[in-house]
């Protein structure tokens, strides 16, 4: 099975072609994975501007589709389906990707598959690793922070989520306060190298409390207050604060994942999403997984940030099950993986 995947939910215009076996097993092959990063357009604003993002997607998408097909050595006739992120995300960008995918599917008589962006992250580990269902997932990115049980495409149970801000947003805010640039995650990780992670005592919201929910707004406030008091003549201050911040986030992740692992035995803990690229945080999660007799598995770093390959792979997983969508599918700014979660206590 070969599927073309289109991802336009935020500030990456991405198109990929992925190949997978017709059976239900994990591990596929990436035939192409093209990405246009809009960092230059957004950096001067210190964050993503939705209208600029949508226009950039529109300008680049056709060329990237052609490039992805060329690099994969296939034509549209060789594809089994066209998949695109249908939400959640910045709705202007999502519309660009969905309408492009629908047009290709209609013109070439191919199935259209609308993929939940979060499901793309959730299933991405199975593109490169033989991970079987079910598994425990920590999904962490700029806009999301959740713990879920993953039983298969479209089959998720949310165990916990952030009650305010996402971890990735907290990284971006910290980087902005310290003048480290955008995107914040890689900038904070670089600045933390060699820093003293115990110099600054920062709050660990929800730490050692029951359940699996997260909270990061208090941590953001504490970082801002600490930045305002940093000594200007201390060359180590920024590195030490970044290391302390990173350690604090690691403490929270480890604590919340420990609670989730204690709920029921799980042999695999998967971490996915942009924040999963952080090497220090991966190390902390490896420790907590080992403590509970589980193994940590994460996608390659290149597949942690937004990309078309994860959307194409989710398309493969859904196509195997006959889960295709009609061309009247409507793009969604919000699309929870577990719609019933809000009604559960």
Q: CB under 8 Å to 335, separation ≥6 — which residues?
A: 86, 87, 88, 116, 117, 118
Which pLDDT score is estimated for 343? 60
CA pseudo-torsion sign 278, 337, 108, 1:
positive
Both 74 and 212 in one domain: the answer is no
Between CA 297 and CA 284 the distance in angstroms is: 13
Check whether residue 140 and residue 75 sit in a common domain: no
Place of tokens 């994990």: 26
Q: Is 344 exposed, middle or buried (0-12, 13-18, 19+ CB in 10 A)?
A: exposed
| pLDDT value of residue 230 | 94
Residue 77: what pLDDT?
Answer: 97
Domain final residue, candidates 279, 298, 317: 298
Strand pairing category for 81-87 and 29-37: unpaired
CA–CA distance, 345 with 343 (Å, rounded to integer):
7
- Please count the structural domains in the chain: 2
Read off the pLDDT of residues 148-158 as tens digits, 9 standing for 90 and up: 999 999 999 99
**Together in a domain, 307 and 293:** no
The residues near 155 (Cβ < 8 Å, ≥ 6 apart) are none
Whether residue 140 is found in the same domain as residue 47: no
The verdict on 238 and 308 lying in the same domain is no
Distance CA 139, CA 5 (A): 20
User: The domain spanning residue 167 has which CATH number?
Assistant: 3.30.420.40
Q: What is the rounded distance in angstroms from the CA atom of residue 332 to the CA atom of residue 90? A: 9
| 249 shares a domain with 177 | yes
pTM: 0.94
Same domain, 215 and 137: yes
Q: How far is CA 345 from CA 23, 211, 215, 341, in A?
A: 37, 11, 18, 8
pLDDT per residue as tens digits for the range 47-80: 788 888 899 999 999 999 999 999 999 999 999 9
Residues 140 and 258 in one domain: yes
- 9 and 150 both lie in a single domain: no
Largest CA distance in the chain: 65
- Spell out the residues 6+ positions from residue 258 whose beta carbon is closer than 8 angstroms to its own: 288, 291, 292
Q: Are residues 137 and 123 in the same domain?
A: no
Low-confidence ranges of the chain (pLDDT < 70): 39, 42, 265, 342-345
Q: Which domain holds residue 112?
A: 2-127+303-343
Tens-digit pLDDT profile for residues 112-164: 999 999 999 999 999 999 999 999 999 998 888 999 999 999 999 999 999 99
Say yes or no: 245 and 176 in one domain: yes
Using an 8 Å Cβ cutoff, are 306 and 330 in contact?
A: no
| Closest-CA residue to 25 (of 111, 112, 126, 124) | 126
Together in a domain, 263 and 336: no
Among the listed residues 203, 215, 289, 290, the one whose alpha carbon sits nearest the alpha carbon of residue 247: 203
Please answer whether residues 87 and 334 qualify as being in contact, where contact means their C-beta atoms are separated by less than 8 angstroms. Answer: yes
Q: Determine contact, residues 280/246, Cβ cutoff 8 Å.
A: yes
Contacts of 221 (CB under 8 A, 6+ apart): none
């Amino acid at each position: 099975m070969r599927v073309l995947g289109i991802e336009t939910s935020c500030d990456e215009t991405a198109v990929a072609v992925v190949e997978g076996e017709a059976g239900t097993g994990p591990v596929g092959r990436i035939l192409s994975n093209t990405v246009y990063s809009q960092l230059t357009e957004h950096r001067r604003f210190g964050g993503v501007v939705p209208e600029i993002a949508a226009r950039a997607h529109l300008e680049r998408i056709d060329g990237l589709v052609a490039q992805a097909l060329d690099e994969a050595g296939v034509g549209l006739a060789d594809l089994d389906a066209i998949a695109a992120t249908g939400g959640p995300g910045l709705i202007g960008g999502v519309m660009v990707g969905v309408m492009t995918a629908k047009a290709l599917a209609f013109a070439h008589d191919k199935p259209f598959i609308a993929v939940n962006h979060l499901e793309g992250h959730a299933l991405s580990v199975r593109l490169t690793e033989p991970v079987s269902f079910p598994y425990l997932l920590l999904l962490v990115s700029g806009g999301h922070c959740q713990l879920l049980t993953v039983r298969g495409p479209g089959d998720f149970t949310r165990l916990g989520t952030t009650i305010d801000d996402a971890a990735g947003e907290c990284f971006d805010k910290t980087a902005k306060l310290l003048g480290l640039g955008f995107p914040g995650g890689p900038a904070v990780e670089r600045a933390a190298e060699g820093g003293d992670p115990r110099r600054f005592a920062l709050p660990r919201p929800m730490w050692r409390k029951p359940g699996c929910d997260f909270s990061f707004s208090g941590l953001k406030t504490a970082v801002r207050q600490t930045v305002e008091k940093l000594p200007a003549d201390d060359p180590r201050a920024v590195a030490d604060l970044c290391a302390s911040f990173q350690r604090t986030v690691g403490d929270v992740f480890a604590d919340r994942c420990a609670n989730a692992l204690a709920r029921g035995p799980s042999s695999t803990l998967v971490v996915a999403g942009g924040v999963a690229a952080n090497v220090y945080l991966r190390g902390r999660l490896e420790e907590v997984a080992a403590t509970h007799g589980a193994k940590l598995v994460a996608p390659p770093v290149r597949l942690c940030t937004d990309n078309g390959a994860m959307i194409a792979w989710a398309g493969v997983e859904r196509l195997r099950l006959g889960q295709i969508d009609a061309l009247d599918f409507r793009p969604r700014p919000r699309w929870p993986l577990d719609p019933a979660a809000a009604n559960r206590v």
